[in-house]
Amino acid sequence: MTSSRPLSSYVTLGLALVVWAILPFVVPRHVADLLVFTGIYTIAGLGIGLLLGHCGIVNLAQATFYGIGAYASAYCTVMLHLPALTGFALGAALSMALAWLIGRPILRLTGYFLALGTLALSAIASALFFEWDWLTGGTLGIGGIPKLDLLGFALDRPSRYYFLVWIVAFACMAVAANLVDSRTGLMLRAMRDSSTAAAALSVDLQSLRTRVFVVCALFGSLAGSLFAHHASFVSTQSFTVDRSINFLLIPVIGGATSIPGIVVGALFITFLPEFLSKLGDFHQILFGLALVAVVVLVPDGLMGALGRLRKRRVAAGNGHGG
Amino acid sequence: MTLSLVLQAIFAGVTNGIVYALVGMGLSAIFKGSRVINAMQGEFSVVGAMTTVLLLTKAGWPYPAAIAAGALAGALLGAGLELAFVRHMARKNASEDSFLLLTIGLALTLSAGTLFFVGRDGYLLPPFGEGVLIVLDAVIQFHALWLIAIGIGATLALRAFFHRTSVGLSMMAASIDADGAATTGINVARMRTYTFFLGGLLGALGGILVTPLVAVDYQLGLNLTLKGFAAAVLGGLTNPLGAAVGGLTLGLVESLAIIGISSSYKDVVAFTVLIVIMILMPNGILGRAGRRGG
Amino acid sequence: MAAEPLLALREVGHAFGGLSVLRSVTFDVPEGGIVGLIGPNGSGKTTLFNIVSGYIRPNMGAVLYRGTPLGRDTIQQRGLAGLVRTFQTPQVFEQMTVLENVMVGVTKLTRTSMLQDLLRTPAARGQMREIRERALAACERFQLAGLRDVPAASLTAGQRRILEIARAVVGEPRLLLLDEPSSGLNAQEIENLRDWIVRLNEGGMTVLLVSHDMGLMTVAPMVHTLYFGEIIASGDMAAIQRDARVREVYLGV
């Protein structure tokens, strides 16, 4: 089978791009707002997906780095009156440094110890965000975070900010895809399938895990900074353990090994609360049930199930199994 | 650092420690019996406590009856969830991660459900016995003394249950060697359900006992789960009675560490202890050959 | 002047708890040779193997590789130095294709930083091409080319074994440690395996082989028999089978 893509797939891609470009202008404002969040959550979820799908690691600490990114952006722009880029950079640097420092000991754990370790980390961070109100403003938070502007365009409404967020999201998706298809990606999948054999082939498991954890933290921080400039106001409620669990839902529901799956998962966690907004805080219950349902019924997420369906159809078409 | 401050911290530590011990014993019993890490253990505490609160305040039940009902609610919830989900997944030979995600999902559901049905407020229960005891300027509530006594009683009862009753012995046998137990006629699947019943009962008991001291709200569950897990790990995950020692240790470390620092760092201390002991002492301080995580 | 052995075990001993599993094990593996370890279950073969490959640190004695003690070298470090092992049950990467499995074996010969991989720099792309080419060549050599894109999970036991060996060999090891390589294989597959060992050795590969299969063991000109952690006989298979002590232990004669 040759690797040249058929014309039809280029056409589909082109159409998708057009739809993507006009979407924020044709939907109501609050939907455009949700689409911005979808982009932000896609970025945060990509990192978790890499860890879950390629390393077999359940990372429940993402709200920590999301929060660091958000507070760094808030602090730099509101308190220190520095340009927005410093907030992004500071958040990224702090998140990666913390991920490196904490990652090395914690990632020596495996399985549920590791998962619960990251959960404990998120709980600690949430408590500290609350306690250190001289830095974060506590529950009162930090407000007045300025909107960004790009090349002179003020990105002051969702239909404009959408483009910045999604361009960053596409860049992150490209980077994640690069990683998966690279030498590092090979070693990650080897580690996931059999860490014993991977070690026997001189794959440095510990170093790999830590590095991917750092990349995940970077994505979390970027998402947090983008969130800060979108919401204009950040406070501790956005960075609790529940948020970490929601981020975990993204690859679990959409499929951890597929990058489009992350978008599906992000759409799910963004739009579901919207559909259920009349019921108040009911959406968290459904998130919990959705997680349960997926774990019990469709362990590799929607994209995984789709992948299996496609394989079955191909196999049936070829008249024999692989 | 005066003596009375230290004594006060010890009182607080032992009191909290017993609660952590109960939650931890339930978690450890469930792990020992089913190899499932129950991330919703703390939710059993919340459900038990909330049931008691609602029956007492809204339905006007007498206190002892409400307590019994609350404990039973936790137990039935545990058994129910095992029957509905765990059994199915165990049959499919699901991975450890899947079980963990399952219990995390259930924990989220229960916590969100509590928020939805009961709201954000915290609720208190009336204490067993009014008044306080003062020793060298350190204060301990009578309820706390009751809590400690009941906690010790529960630990001893659990020990007797596992070692003396036939159900308890069967549960132990089923967890050590499922196939061997099955050949002697023990219904391994049913033992697992009983294990979850027991875990739910212990969790609920812990929740009910602590609610006169600390208001129970929808967020308490996660907090108790993590601390219960720390207690269980400290005691050696496969040793439910070890969790009693673990819980006390955690409670004391927590309270003593924050002498002089604001008490709002209590959770930070406890969760840091959890991370540290998982890394340094995965088999717990009793050093029994439990199973390393993962 | 005698060449230095590639691998040398000197008085290696190990005990688990109070139970002594290996006692004063001493032997050489000459460069370019094939050495076998045989013995009944519980003789300590597996423990010895785990010690040489780095999974266990021995209580006593030393393992020297190219003259220097291995000491605290990790499994990965030993692999990079050329000491590679396979496992009794072939540990293939189930969800990856045969080609990808072999590609993992090549990764240790190349170097990219994660940053290069994240950004897909020309250097990273070049390394991937090289990895793929080497893996393709190895698949040809080991007659796996037809199974290239098949997920490893669908392979038979014999195919898994060959894949595992191919994957180990593509990383250009100097010493190949084969742990019960015939386990799970039928007679035809064992024959095929034997041929491969001979071929690899003729190409310069040094092999240390653990097996309970006496037929396969004939491929090794020097075999050491382990019994309760001690070497009780050494020689080629014919000599071993004539040895009085071995007969006593195996046949009760």
CATH fold of C7-92+155-251: Rossmann fold (3.40.50)
Residue B286: per-residue pLDDT: 63
Predicted confidence (pLDDT) at residue C229 exceeds the cutoff of 50: yes
Interface A:C, Cβ pairs < 8 A: 101
Query: Which pLDDT band, with edges at 50, 70 and 90, does C155 fall under?
Result: very high
Predicted confidence (pLDDT) at residue A305 exceeds the cutoff of 70: no
Query: Which pLDDT band, with edges at 50, 70 and 90, does B6 fall under?
Result: confident
CB-based contact A202 C53, cutoff 8 Å:
no
CB-based contact A285 B274, cutoff 8 Å:
no
In a domain, A22, yes or no: no
Predicted confidence (pLDDT) at residue B118 exceeds the cutoff of 50: yes
CATH code at A90? 1.10.3470
In a domain, A296, yes or no: yes
Residue B291: per-residue pLDDT: 41
Crossing angle of helices C98-106/A183-193, nearest 10°?
110
CB-based contact A292 B85, cutoff 8 Å:
yes
CB-based contact B105 A280, cutoff 8 Å:
no
Kindly list the residues from chain C whose CB atom is less than 8 angstroms away from the CB atom of residue A215.
114, 118
Among the partner residues A183, A201, A204, nearest to C110 by beta-carbon distance = A183
ipTM of the shown complex = 0.87
Enter the pTM of the model.
Answer: 0.88
User: Which residues face A320 on adjacent strands?
Assistant: none
Kindly list the residues from chain A whose CB atom is less than 8 angstroms away from the CB atom of residue B116.
280-282, 284-285
Residues in chain A: 322
Residue with tokens 């300025």: A146
Among the partner residues C53, C104, C120, nearest to A186 by beta-carbon distance = C104
CB-based contact C150 A322, cutoff 8 Å:
yes
Kindly list the residues from chain A whose CB atom is less than 8 angstroms away from the CB atom of residue C84.
200-201
Touch B-A: 3+ C-beta pairs under 8 A: yes
Start and end residues for every CATH 3.40.50.300 domain found in chain C: 7-92+155-251
CB-based contact B222 A123, cutoff 8 Å:
yes
CB-based contact A201 C53, cutoff 8 Å:
no
Interval C30-62: pLDDT, tens: 999 999 998 887 788 888 989 999 888 888 899
Kindly list the residues from chain B whose CB atom is less than 8 angstroms away from the CB atom of residue A112.
37, 96-97, 100, 293-294
User: What's the one-letter identity of residue A177?
Assistant: A
**Is residue C137 a contact partner of residue C85, using CB atoms and an 8 Å limit?**
no
Whole-number Å distance between alpha carbons of A248 and A47: 10
Predicted confidence (pLDDT) at residue A2 exceeds the cutoff of 70: no
Predicted confidence (pLDDT) at residue A302 exceeds the cutoff of 80: no
Name the closest residue on chain A to residue B81, using Cα atoms: A292
Residue C133: per-residue pLDDT: 94
A317 or B270, higher pLDDT: B270
Predicted confidence (pLDDT) at residue A153 exceeds the cutoff of 60: yes
Split into its structural domains, chain A has a count of 1
Quick one: average pLDDT of B31-57? 90
Q: Which subunits count as partners of chain A given 3+ CB pairs below 8 Å? A: B, C
CB-based contact A121 B275, cutoff 8 Å:
yes
Predicted confidence (pLDDT) at residue B222 exceeds the cutoff of 70: yes
Touch A-C: 3+ C-beta pairs under 8 A: yes
Residue A178: per-residue pLDDT: 93
Average pLDDT value over all residues in chain A:
87
In a domain, A9, yes or no: no
- By mean pLDDT, which of A3-7, A247-251, A298-302, B35-39 is the weakest? A3-7
Name the closest residue on chain A to residue C88, using Cα atoms: A197
Residue A224: per-residue pLDDT: 96
Predicted confidence (pLDDT) at residue A35 exceeds the cutoff of 80: yes
Among the partner residues A185, A193, A202, nearest to C94 by beta-carbon distance = A193
Residue C100: per-residue pLDDT: 94
CB-based contact A178 C120, cutoff 8 Å:
yes
Quick one: average pLDDT of B45-51? 93
Query: Strands across the sheet with C230-235, in order?
Result: C83-85, C175-179, C206-210, C34-38, C222-227, C230-235
> How near does any CA of chain A get to the CA of C35, in Å?
21
**Is residue A227 a contact partner of residue A40, using CB atoms and an 8 Å limit?**
yes
> How near does any CA of chain A get to the CA of B147, in Å?
27
Among the partner residues A181, A193, A211, nearest to C93 by beta-carbon distance = A193
Residue A317: per-residue pLDDT: 55
In a domain, A10, yes or no: no
Helix H or strand E segment including A134: helix A133-136
Domain that holds residue A159: 28-310
Among the partner residues A178, A193, A203, nearest to C76 by beta-carbon distance = A203
Name the closest residue on chain C to residue A171, using Cα atoms: C119
Whole-number Å distance between alpha carbons of B188 and B47: 27
In a domain, A252, yes or no: yes
Name the closest residue on chain A to residue B90, using Cα atoms: A296
Whole-number Å distance between alpha carbons of C248 and B193: 54
Helix H or strand E segment including C179: strand C175-179
CB-based contact A287 B264, cutoff 8 Å:
no
Interval B149-198: pLDDT, tens: 888 898 888 888 888 888 888 887 877 777 777 777 777 788 889 889 99
CB-based contact A201 C108, cutoff 8 Å:
yes
Chain C residues near any Cβ of chain A (below 8 Å): 53, 75-77, 79-80, 84-87, 91-96, 100, 103-105, 107-108, 110, 112, 114, 117-120, 124, 127-128, 131, 150-151, 154, 164, 167-168, 171
Residue A176: per-residue pLDDT: 94
Domain parsing of chain B, residue ranges: 3-280
CATH fold of B3-280: ABC transporter involved in vitamin B12 uptake, BtuC (1.10.3470)
Interval C210-221: pLDDT, tens: 988 888 888 999
CA-nearest of C62, C116, C55 to C83 is C55
**Is residue A26 a contact partner of residue A159, using CB atoms and an 8 Å limit?**
no
Q: Which subunits count as partners of chain C given 3+ CB pairs below 8 Å? A: A
Q: Which subunits count as partners of chain B given 3+ CB pairs below 8 Å? A: A
Crossing angle of helices B266-280/B220-234, nearest 10°?
40
